[in-house]
């Protein structure tokens, strides 16, 4: 089974920038690479929409996932807000996708239990990568890069790995559940 991991932003698009200069695009890529590794260890095939610091359009990201007929699409981002106290983890799915919602709930639960952020819950959003992908798709906001404490967490390889393991476990739980349903 094939899974597409989408590290948000890249190249000329840095995404959000932390108070200490941490770039969202770098965190997204580091976590995405770790997710791919964990999924491969679990026996899945992982495809990245980018594996280096390069610009990839939103349309190209969903097109790649559709072309490779992946079972699940996971976009990885860091949040940002003008209110520097804002913190926590949230996961988005497309408003009309019930499978996307189930997947989002499973990944969100693992992220909270394994990485310990404030639970901001599962939310709906009409994001292009969620709208244009033909499979259950989610967009994870790991934490707020605009919050000083969370910026430091996002920069830590140990925390990055906890996020990555959580995403992998959530995806695995979702796919195992789906597969079982099909057998029964
Ligand atoms: Zn982003």
Q: What is the pLDDT of residue 90?
A: 98
Distance 91 CA to ligand 1 centre (A): 12
Q: What is the pLDDT of residue 148?
A: 97
Report the predicted TM-score, pTM, of the whole model to 2 decimal places: 0.96
Q: What is the pLDDT of residue 180?
A: 75
Q: What is the pLDDT of residue 77?
A: 98
The rounded percent of the chain whose pLDDT value lies above 70 is 98
- pLDDT of 127 > 90? The answer is yes
The answer to whether residue 90 is catalytic is no
Q: Which CATH architecture has domain 2-183?
A: 3-Layer(aba) Sandwich (3.40)
Distance 76 CA to ligand 1 centre (A): 8
Distance 85 CA to ligand 1 centre (A): 18
- pLDDT of 172 > 90? The answer is yes
So where are the chain's domains? 2-183
Q: Please give the Cα distance from 102 to 106 (Å, whole number).
A: 6
DSSP 73-131: EEEEEEE--SSTT---EEEEE-TT-HHHHHHHHHHHHHHHHHH---EEEEEE---HHHH
Q: How confident is the model at residue 179 (pLDDT cuts 50, 70, 90)?
A: confident
User: What dihedral do alpha carbons 54, 142, 36, 13 form, nearest 10°?
Assistant: 0
Mean pLDDT estimate for the chain: 97
Active site residue: 141, 150, 151, 169, which one?
Answer: 141
Q: What is the pLDDT of residue 181?
A: 72
Q: What is the mean pLDDT of residues 63-69?
A: 98
Pairing of strands 89-93, 137-144: antiparallel
Distance 15 CA to ligand 1 centre (A): 5
The rounded percent of the chain whose pLDDT value lies above 90 is 96
Distance 4 CA to ligand 1 centre (A): 17
Q: What is the pLDDT of residue 182?
A: 65
């Amino acid at each position: 089974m094939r899974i597409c991991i989408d590290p948000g932003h890249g190249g000329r698009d840095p995404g959000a920038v932390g108070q200490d200069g941490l770039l969202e695009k770098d965190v997204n890529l580091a976590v995405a690479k770790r997710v791919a590794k964990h999924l491969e260890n679990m026996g899945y095939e992982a495809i990245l929409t980018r594996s280096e610091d390069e610009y990839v359009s939103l349309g190209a990201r969903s097109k790649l996932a559709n072309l490779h007929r992946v079972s699940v699409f996971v976009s990885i981002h860091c949040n940002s807000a003008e209110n520097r106290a804002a913190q926590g983890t949230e996961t988005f799915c497309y408003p009309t996708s019930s499978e996307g919602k189930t997947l989002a709930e499973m990944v969100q639960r693992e992220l909270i239990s394994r990485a310990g952020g404030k639970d901001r819950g599962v939310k709906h959003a009409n994001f292009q990568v969620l709208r244009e992908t033909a499979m259950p798709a989610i967009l994870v906001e790991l934490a707020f890069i605009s919050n000083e404490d969370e910026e430091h967490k996002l920069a830590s390889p140990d925390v990055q790995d906890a996020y990555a393991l959580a995403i992998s476990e959530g995806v695995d739980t979702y796919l195992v559940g789906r597969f079982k349903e099909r057998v029964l």
